Amino acid sequence: MKNNNNLRDANILVIGGAGFIGSFVVTELLKEPIKSVVVYDNFARGKKNYLNEQLTDARCSIYPIGGDIREIDILNKAMENVDYVVCLAAMWLLHCKDFPRTAFDVNIAGTFNVLEACVKNNVKKLIWSSSASVYGDAVELPMTESHPFNNKNFYGASKIAGEAMCTAFNDRYELEVIGLRYMNVYGPHQDQTAAYTGVVPIMLNKIEANEAPIINGDGSQAYDFIYVEDVATCNVQALKSEKKHGFYNVGTEIQTSIKELCETILELKSSNLKVQYKPYSEDDARALVQNRIGSKENAQKDLDFLYKYDLKSGLKELINWRIQTGIDKK
């Protein structure tokens, strides 16, 4: 599908724009002939220094009054005269598990607030971050967008609800909205040390500390890892596409087991450490999903999106960033 919308002179609001994926979306948007990119972020997980470079561009700014999607009047004010919105604000998987009520307020009610504000302010199109978590464990591989919702956890439930709201707003108000179901995203600006972080930073931290990386289960559980810059590119492609509504996988369609991931990281770090295996704890939400690989066909066809980074090249970028920022020594 052709991308007819070139975003010329557009004003774009990026909700969660100081975060892991959002900061990369801002970078990609600034490569387009836009008029302005305004970052709306409450800095719960985002960091201003993730935008240092972007803010040197006069077209980029941080909304000064607030940045929480639960603050309806401030959110509405931020959307005045905005053409397009990209929404990446959410509470993450394990955070939702521990705080489901807040997960509801942010991921479900917050999404409703964003949709409502888009309609009120005549926003032309919204790109909304969903997740492959809606699918739960795979019934068939690769998962197409019509794969059943097999989810059992709060995070996935909040994304399913958010998607349903997007569809309802499209149907009722003709709001153009595209939801992107991210596979396992990794890369710079992902919190490398938080209690709620991903498998890639956890492994890198262990190896950097010269401790044996620990794999839950037998390491055969396999996922679709996609580099954060590719995910950001997909957000921009979705914005530029002619598609008015739909949900798309954002992945590589390449299956990588946790064992393979660990071996690749050990190789890139020139480490001789040996992997240790341990059973999942009884309440680990991640134990529920053993396989998740997304079909890339529809995103390629409708959004003209195809990933650029394979796992090794993406991990190299991440390791270099960790060295530059002093997280890793070498």
Average pLDDT of the segment spanning 183-188: 96
- Between 94 and 190, the more confident residue is 190
**135 near 159, Cβ under 8 Å?**
no
Question: Which is nearest to 303 in space by CA: 247, 227, 223, 229?
Answer: 247
Q: Please state, in angstroms and as integers, the Cα–Cα distance from residue 40 to each residue in 26, 62, 63, 66, following that order.
A: 11, 6, 5, 7
Nearest to 90 by CA among 192, 175, 168, 179: 179
Residue 42's domain spans which residues?
Answer: 11-188+225-251+294-307
In a domain, 206, yes or no: no
Which structure tokens are listed for 52? 């240092």
Picking from 294, 304, 167, 130, the residue whose alpha carbon sits closest to that of residue 234 is 304
In angstroms, rounded to a whole number, what is the distance separating the alpha carbons of residues 166 and 115?
Answer: 7
pLDDT of the residue at 193: 80
Over residues 182-192, mean pLDDT: 94
So what's the pLDDT on residue 198? 83
* Non-local CB neighbours of 325 within 8 Å, separated by 6+ positions: none
For residue 283, pLDDT over 70 is answered with: no
Q: Is residue 25 part of a domain?
A: yes
Tokens encoding 203: 């492994």
Phi, psi of 102 (to 5 degrees): -65, -35
d(CA 227, CA 182): 10
What integer is the mean pLDDT of 183-204?
A: 88
* CB contact set of 167 (below 8 Å; sequence gap of 6+): 245
Whether 5 maps to a domain, the answer reads no
From 63, 69, 57, select the one nearest 28 (Cα to Cα). 57
Q: What distance in Å separates the CA atoms of residue 152 and residue 211, rounded to the nearest whole number?
A: 33
Gyration radius (Cα) of the chain, Å: 19
pLDDT over threshold 80, residue 74: yes
The confidence score (pLDDT) of residue 2 equals: 52
Task: Tell me what pLDDT residue 217 has.
Answer: 85
Check residue 196 and give its pLDDT. Answer: 65
| Amino acid symbol at 242 | E
What is the CB-side half-sphere exposure of residue 221 using CA atoms within 13 A?
Answer: 17
Eight-state DSSP code of residue 54: G
Kindly state whether residue 103 falls inside one of the protein's structural domains: yes
The pLDDT value recorded for residue 218 is: 87
Query: pTM of the full predicted structure?
Result: 0.95
Using pLDDT thresholds of 50, 70 and 90, give the confidence band for residue 288. Answer: low
Rounded mean pLDDT, 313-330: 94
For the stretch 246-274, pLDDT in tens is 999 999 999 999 999 999 999 999 999 99
Name the pLDDT band for 329 (thresholds 50, 70, 90): confident
What are the distances in angstroms from CA 291 to CA 146, 197, 241, 294?
A: 17, 19, 30, 10
* Mean pLDDT for the stretch of residues 216-241: 95
What's the confidence (pLDDT) of residue 280? Answer: 74
Higher pLDDT, 281 or 200: 200
Q: What is the largest CA-CA distance in the chain?
A: 58
Residue recorded with tokens 């010329």? 8
Write out the catalytic residue numbers.
155
What pLDDT, in 10s, does the model give residues 35-52? Answer: 999 999 999 999 999 999
Between the two ends of the chain, the Cα-to-Cα distance in Å is: 44
Is a pLDDT exceeding 80 seen at residue 24?
Answer: yes
What's the gap between Cα 123 and its chain centre? 22
Residue 226 phi, psi dihedral angles, 5° rounding: -130, 135
Query: 């709001």: which residue's tokens?
Result: 175
The number of distinct structural domains making up the chain is 1
Query: Distance between CA 192 and CA 138 in Å, rounded?
Result: 28
Q: Which segment of 34-43, 48-57, 181-190, 284-293 scores lowest on mean pLDDT?
A: 284-293
Confidence of residue 292 (pLDDT cuts 50, 70, 90): confident
Q: Are 287 and 280 in contact (CB under 8 A)?
A: yes
- Position 44 in a domain: yes
Helix (H, G, I), strand (E, B) or coil at 251: coil
- Give the CATH number of the domain where residue 159 resides: 3.40.50.720
Q: Does a structural domain hold residue 218?
A: no
In this model, does residue 4 exceed pLDDT 60? no
- With 0-12 / 13-18 / 19 or more C-beta atoms within 10 angstroms meaning exposed / middle / buried, residue 64 is exposed
Distance CA 72, CA 44 (A): 17
Tell me if 3 is assigned to some domain. no
| Percentage of the chain lying above the pLDDT 70 cut | 96
